[in-house]
Structure 1
Amino acid sequence: MNTPPILDNKHTSSPSIFAVSALLREARRQKKLEVADVPSVCILDPDGDLVRTLRVAGKTIRFENWPCYHTELDCFSLGGQQVGIVGRVVGSSFAVLVAEELFASGCRLLVSLTSAGQIVTSGRPPYFVIIDRALRDEGTSYHYAPPAEFANADPRLVAMAWKSMSAHKPRCVVGSSWTTDAPFRETAEAIDFARSKGVLAVEMEAAALYAFASAAGVKVLCLAHVTNTMGQSGDDFEKGEADGTSDALAALDTIVRAICAEASERPAAK
C-alpha cells in the first residue's frame, strides 16, 4: 500500500454536490430566519473563553439570523468595528464547516485563536504564535488540497499580523504548528517528528482552515495561544488574566485593526 486508503478519491478540483448555500437556505427556511450578512470580520474561539467572558461582561449581542445548525454567533466591538465570534468550534472538520458557512454569509476575514501545546520552546507560556504554516496531521485538509506536508497561510496576512504585534505586548512569535485530530495520541515519536520540523505548537484547526482558505480564495489567519506543555510540568494550562482573554482580545484587536486598515488603504482594482 503506497498511500493510505483515506487519501483515495479526493478530487480536490471537483465541486461538491452538497453545497453550503443549500444547507443555509434550508436552515433559514426551517428556522424562519431572514437572509442577513454576518459581520465582515469573524473570530473562531475554539476554547470558548472569549465568548463566555464577553457574554458575562454584557459586551455581546446575539446575531439572531445566524442559520448554522450547530453554533451561535455573537457580535461585539473589536478593532474599531463590530465583529462576529463563534465559540467552541473545536477540531478541523467543525472549524471548516463553520468557516464555510461564515464566508457564504458575508464574512471577508476569519481569524481563529486557539490554545495550543508547546513543541519547540519560544519562551515560558503563555504567548502567541502567528501560524505561518501547519503540519497536516488531520483529515479535513485532504478534501481541499492535494497531499503535502504543510498547509500554508497567506503570507501577506502573516506579515501584517506580525508587523502589528512585533512592538506590542502580549509576547508573540511567528512560526509553524502541528494540526492533529487526536490530542491524546501525541506520542513521543510524533512530538519528536514535529520538533524536527521546527514546529512551535500543536493545535487542532489551522491546517484544515488554511487548506480551505487556499482552495476557496478567502482570507483566514490562525493564531495559537501557547498555554501549556501538554501537562508535562506543574501549574500547566495557565492562560493568564481572566483565562487569558485580556491578552487574547488585545492581540486580536491589534491584528484586526492592522489588517482592516491595510485593506481600506489599498487602491481598488480597476
Structure 2
Amino acid sequence: MSGSSDSETSPLFEAKAFDEQSVFRPSALLENARRQKDLPERSVPDICILDPDGDIVRQLMATDEAAKDETWPGYHTDLYRFEYNGEEFGIVGCAVGASFAVLVAEQLFAAGCQFLISVTSSGQIIPKDDPPYFVLIDRALRDEGTSHHYRSASQYATLDADLCASVEEACKSVSRPVYTGTTWTTDAPFRETETAIERARSEGILAVEMEAAALYTFAEVRKRPIVCFAHVTNQMGQTEEDFEKGKADGSQDALEVIDAAATAWRSKN
C-alpha cells in the first residue's frame, strides 16, 4: 500500500484524544436497542458480575437460581438476575477478552450498575498454591489493546487502593485461598510464549488473564468501581488434569468470593 511501511507507528497509539468524548455512546446503543426491541427501561441491579467462562451462569441456570432479564437491551449478551445471601446481582456470561468485557461494562454502568465484579479463569505464572485458587488483582500488565483507547501508555492498570484493601480484608473469610497480586492481561492467549512468560515472571506476575487491565483502566478514567479476580485453574495446558475448577465448575467458590467483594463495597457505600 502506498505511503505505508512496517516501520510506521502502530495506529493503536495514534489519534487518541483521551479527553475528547466519544461520538458513539453506550446510552445511545441501549436507547436504540430498546426502541428496536420495544423494551421498557429498567435499571440493572446495583452489583453486576462479568463471568467470562460462563460457568457461574450455567450453574445458576441449571439449579433454577437465576432468571433471564428480558428487558436487558444489550445486543450481544444476555443478563441474568439472581439472589445470593439476600443481595440481588446481575450477571453476564461469556464476555471474554478485554474489548468485549469493557463493551459490556460500559453498557452495564449506563444501565444503572453501581459496582462491577469480574471473575475470570486464568493461567498460573508464579505458583502461590495448587490450582484452583483466586487472585485479587491489584494491578494488571497492559498487554492488550482496549485500555490504550482510554488512557495514555503505562505498563500497569491498578485497582483503587482503598477498594483493594476492603475487598482483601473481606476475602479472608472465604473458604478458598485468595491471594492479592499482579496479573498479565493479554489479547492473544495462544501467543503465551516462553519469552513472554519469563518476562511476566521477572515482573512478579502471578497469573495471565484477558480482561483486568482494560477493566481497571476504564474504571479509573470513568470513575467506576470495578474489582477483578483471577481464578487460577490451569498451568496453560501443561498438565493432564488442567482447567479443573472444582465442585460445580468452581461456581460455588466464585460466588463466595463475589459475595465477599460485594459486602466490602456495600460497607464503603
Is residue 79–residue 254 contact of structure 1 (8 Å, CA) maintained in 2?
A: no
- Percentage identity across aligned positions? 52
> Which residue among 52, 62, 73 is the counterpart of 1:56?
62
Partners of 1:3 and 1:232 lie apart in 2 by 36
| Partner residue, 1:32 | 38
Are residue 230 (structure 1) and residue 236 (structure 2) matched?
A: yes
Q: What displacement does 1:80 show?
A: 2.6
1:75-123 deviation digits (Å, cap 9, x = unpaired): 0112531110000000011000000000000000000000000001111
Is residue 45–residue 86 contact of structure 1 (8 Å, CA) maintained in 2?
A: yes
| Partner residue, 2:196 | 190
1:190-215 deviation digits (Å, cap 9, x = unpaired): 00111111111100000000111111
Partners of 1:137 and 1:78 lie apart in 2 by 34
| Partner residue, 1:266 | none
| Partner residue, 1:172 | 178
Report matched runs for 1:132-151 at 5 Å. 132-151=138-157
Query: What is the one-letter code of the residue matched to 1:213?
Result: A
1:223-263 deviation digits (Å, cap 9, x = unpaired): 00000000112211111111111111111112212221331
> Which residue among 68, 81, 84 is the counterpart of 2:87?
81
1:51-76 deviation digits (Å, cap 9, x = unpaired): 00000100012212110000000001
| Partner residue, 2:97 | 91
How many residues get paired? 263
Give unmatched runs, 5+ long, in structure 2.
1-6
Q: Secondary structure at the match of 1:115?
A: strand
Partners of 2:84 and 2:155 lie apart in 1 by 34
TM-score relative to the length of structure 2: 0.95
Partners of 2:257 and 2:224 lie apart in 1 by 22
| Partner residue, 1:17 | 23
Q: Secondary structure at the match of 2:102?
A: helix
Q: Secondary structure at the match of 1:166?
A: helix
Query: What is the one-letter code of the residue matched to 2:226?
Result: V
Q: Secondary structure at the match of 1:107?
A: coil
1:15-40 deviation digits (Å, cap 9, x = unpaired): 10111111111100000001111001
| Partner residue, 2:115 | 109
Q: What displacement does 1:2 show?
A: 8.3
Query: What is the one-letter code of the residue matched to 1:99?
Result: A
Q: Secondary structure at the match of 1:99?
A: helix
Q: Secondary structure at the match of 1:53?
A: helix
1:138-191 deviation digits (Å, cap 9, x = unpaired): 100000111000011111221111101124311110001100000000000000
Are residue 255 (structure 1) and residue 261 (structure 2) matched?
A: yes
Query: What is the one-letter code of the residue matched to 1:42?
Result: C
Query: What is the one-letter code of the residue matched to 1:82?
Result: E
Is residue 137–residue 228 contact of structure 2 (8 Å, CA) maintained in 1?
A: yes
Partners of 1:158 and 1:128 lie apart in 2 by 14
Is residue 174–residue 256 contact of structure 2 (8 Å, CA) maintained in 1?
A: no
Partners of 2:8 and 2:205 lie apart in 1 by 26
Give unmatched runs, 5+ long, in structure 1.
264-270
Q: Secondary structure at the match of 2:264?
A: helix
Partners of 2:258 and 2:30 lie apart in 1 by 28
